[in-house]
Structure formats: structure tokens, C-alpha cells
Structure 1
Amino acid sequence: MHNYYADRLFTALERGEPGPGQLLVAAPGMLDDTFARSVILIIEHNEQMTFGVNLTKRSELAVYNVMPDWISAVAKPQALYIGGPVNQQSVVGVGRTRQGVRFDEHPQINRLANRLAHIDLRSDPEEVAQLVDGMRLFAGYCEWAPGQLDGEIERGDWYVAPALPGDVIMPARADLWGDVMRRQPMPLPLFSTYPAEVTEN
């Protein structure tokens, strides 16, 4: 699935536990185009399944063309992101809350981590816009069956790291994968510039 040292690198490191508000960072050299240099935000993790969205894949489709009511809440670039290969007809919302917003007072937002929320898209978009200082809309999601993600982490496909609220609304030109790798313990920062296409390096 990836080159010979990537799995050795990730399996040698102390493993975090996957859970809501955590990131799954793809191992350097992962060859699967679906997940190469991807950063998955975990939204739900329990005995039945794990569910999350890929923060790194922006589509060419403008939010205005598909869900115009949400445009006031969506951070630039205001494009639909591809959350994963599963059920791309459904849309998932994730956002960064404004300073001082209390999750327990607003049923429209479900806490994932500090200032990081899973947003109920059945809510009034204008109400949500008052609670967040930016959000993303994701078409589709990533899903793992019971035990599947644990096996992939054990194999060295993923590194588990805490998410920061700004990860979900990174600017268009940002390299989120490299940025997340740079803030991890050594030796992961050394791999932050690992090329997307090894053959081109």
C-alpha cells in the first residue's frame, strides 16, 4: 500500500487512540490515491464503526451552486470538499466555533474538540453562521467497520494526532498534511516535505 519504510515509521511510534476530534494522518508514501497525503477528521468512533471526513480534497464545485443557503457560514475557498468515497450524495458539515460559544446551549453544533464542531445541517444556516467563524461542507465520508481502523493503524497506515480548530478551514494553498506532520514529535517533522509523487523527486 505504501513504500517500505512508511509502515515501519508509523508502527515504531507511540500510538494515540482514535476518537472524535482526532486526526488520522496518512503514512508517507501511501500509494492509494484515495488517501495519499490525506488528513481525516474523526467525527464518530465506537464499537460499531468509525466515521470521518478527509480535510484535504477540494472539489471544483462551488458551495453556492449546490447549497447556497450555507454560503454565509462557509470559509474561503467556498468550494465543496470531498469527504470520502462513501455516499457522496450526502453532505457533512464541520466548523470552528466562535470564541465563547457554549456547545451545551446550541443543539445545532456537536462538540468534537475545543472550538471544533460537527454541524447539524438540518439547522437554520443563518443561526449556524452566528456560532462559527468558518465551516466546510463535505460530500461523502470515510467509514471503517469494527476493527478495520485498528488494523490499519497497527499496520502503520495512519498516525493518530489531535486536531486543531483551524485544521478544518485551512486556506486554499495550505499543505495541511505537511502542517500536521510538522507539529508532531520527531521524527515526523522530517517527513513533512515528503513529495506527493516520489518518482518526481
Structure 2
Amino acid sequence: MMEAMDDDIRPGRLLVATPMLEDPNFRRSVVLVVDHGPEDGTVGVVLNRPTEVRVGRILPPWAELAGGGEDVVFQGGPVALDSALALAHVPGTGEPLGWRPLEGIPAVARVGLVDLDSPPALLADSAAQFRVFAGYAGWGRDQLKSEIAEDAWLVVSGQTADVFSAEPAELWRRVLHRQGGELAFLATFPDDPTLN
């Protein structure tokens, strides 16, 4: 397995569950890191767990912005499932009110957190993509570093397209495959190795 160093964990990076991680909350998940600090730990959202709940059902004011194929809520993780957070892709150079860019790597530039208490109209003309997550994934200080050392997670570069993937069921395989080499081989790992 590829071992990642603690400083590889930062907003905009992806945590990709290895086949060895069998926790049902994270099995074959791809998590976008949205916040990380050496003292506070790490917060992220699972990008490939769509639910059947429509955004309009839980956040009616945001339903129009979430329209099209992105109108379902995603389960962002097992923590605080009764709360929501949203991400939006805002092309260009401005920073509209109610939106804060992730301080990450350039590949996910212009993706940021949305203040769901602000009026949706503030983002209506700026946001190219928008996604709502119920709950989040969180790790305490050094917890994620320990899980990475145990080969539960890989830390890789993210892309804006990963955050708003139209095919979330294929995201795990797609992210691994584009890494090349040994990591691309993991993308072929069977769902149930005992049936192989």
C-alpha cells in the first residue's frame, strides 16, 4: 500500500478507502477533506453516498440551486446526520457572499463551503455546481494518521469533477484507476474477495 504522510492531509485532498477498510460507513468511500488541523483533527464529506432524499425536502430554499441530476442529498458521513453542509463550485475569481473556498490544492480550486443560512440568491448567478451533504466524517487528533498507517486510507489528489460526480457509484474505482500503477490495480479488487 501507499503510505501517506500527515502533511499530505489537507483540504482538497481525497481519502480513498482501501479494500481492507470494512467499516460500513466508509467501505469503498471517497472522502473530500474540507478541514484539517494538527490540533483539531480532520473533517470531510463522503462523495459517493447519494441518498434518495431530495434537497427540496430538507432545504426548500436551496432546491432550485440543487436542480438537475444533483438534487439529492448525499450522506456526508456518520457524524451529525441531522445537520447539513453544502459545497459549490464557483468559477471565476470572485468570492460571492455565503461561500468560502477550500484552502486546498489547485485541482479543486473554486470549490468551497456554502453558508446554508444565507439566501440562495447570493450564489444563484455564481455557482456552477452545488451539492448538499447530511452529516460529515470526522477524525480526532492523530486518529486519521493512525488509520492511514494501518492501510485503511490512501491520500490522493482530488479534482473538482470528483466532488460533483454524476456517477458516484463509480467514483471509488475511477479515482483509484487514475492513480496508475499499484493503486490502479486496487480498482479491480472484487466486492467480495471470497467469491473470486
Q: Under TM normalisation by the shorter chain, which class is it?
A: 0.7 to 0.9
Q: Give, as a single letter, the amino acid of the residue that structure 1 aligns with 2:49.
A: K
What is the CA–CA distance in structure 2 between the aligned matches of 1:16 and 1:28, rounded to whole Å?
23
- Does 1:56 find its partner at 2:48? yes
Change (3 A) 1:172 1:64: farther
What is the CA–CA distance in structure 2 between the aligned matches of 1:188 and 1:138, rounded to whole Å?
27
1:187 to 148, 171, 182: 182
Counterpart of 2:119 in structure 1 is 124
Q: Give, as a single letter, the amino acid of the residue that structure 2 aligns with 1:108.
A: G
What TM-score do the two structures reach when normalised by structure 1? 0.85
Residue ranges of structure 1 left out of the alignment (5+ in a row) = 1-8
- Does 1:177 find its partner at 2:168? no
What is the CA–CA distance in structure 2 between the aligned matches of 1:120 and 1:199, rounded to whole Å?
45
Summarize the alignment of residues 5-16 of structure 1 with structure 2, pairs less than 5 Å apart: 9-11=1-3
What secondary structure, in the 3-state scheme, does the structure 2 residue paired with 1:171 have? Answer: coil
- Does 1:45 find its partner at 2:52? no
Say if 1:29 and 1:198, in contact at 8 Å, map to a contact too.
Answer: no
Superposition CA RMSD, Å: 2.0
Identity %: 32
Change (3 A) 1:102 1:162: farther
Between the two proteins, the alignment pairs up a number of residues equal to: 189
Residue ranges of structure 2 left out of the alignment (5+ in a row) = 103-107
Say if 2:52 and 2:73, in contact at 8 Å, map to a contact too.
Answer: yes
What TM-score do the two structures reach when normalised by structure 2? 0.87
Counterpart of 1:4 in structure 2 is none
- Does 1:21 find its partner at 2:19? no
Q: Give, as a single letter, the amino acid of the residue that structure 2 aligns with 1:188.
A: L
What secondary structure, in the 3-state scheme, does the structure 2 residue paired with 1:175 have? Answer: helix
- Does 1:143 find its partner at 2:138? yes
